[in-house]
Structure 1
């Protein structure tokens, strides 16, 4: 059987399109998350220790950064390297998959910057009609 991802939609097994959409949604939720974007942005400059990441990102809680890093590590986007030193040293770095996100996020960021005024104007016009 062919890979469902490259099959014509009408030839895919029943329900597979829904499963693919759910899986894609989960991935997009991860890479589009506010803290993920910030962690990838900081780690695009090289490996960082946890407290360095917290300082660079600013505004992220210890718990949220921990959860974000664990999720990114689970998804194979970030690697965690522990060094047997005293005190223990742990560094986080982007994997090849994580580094592949840098350019798409840069493009999306540039788009958001360019179209922010348009979006804000449209929101204001929409909101004024809702009153």
Structure 2
């Protein structure tokens, strides 16, 4: 479920970017002619829905009992740290590649993650920030 949702969200974000990129850019610059207004309204709802879904996934992840916080590595086995490691860019791409073999999709996702990584964030999968909302997924949804 987790990897399927992540892949689908990344794939959908690429579709939105490809289909509406110029329209969204024109709207931001004040040059939108409203030819794509209904699509833009639909797009505006998409990240809000995905943010809500992602928040629920993170909450569910924090309830997992199999992440054992015992022993000398207990400090490293916090749910936030495990999630950060799972969302590491290279592991994320490998997991998507293992579950969804569309090489073209994976290459586009890799490029998108690289852009997110270089857009001022020191760690693409970091948990820091307000309310711990600094994961790869959070950054993509905010972008």
- Say which structure, 1 or 2, has more relative contact order (CA 8 Å, 6+ apart): 2
TM-score, length-normalised on structure 1? 0.32
Give 1 or 2: higher strand fraction.
1
Rg larger in 1 or in 2? 1
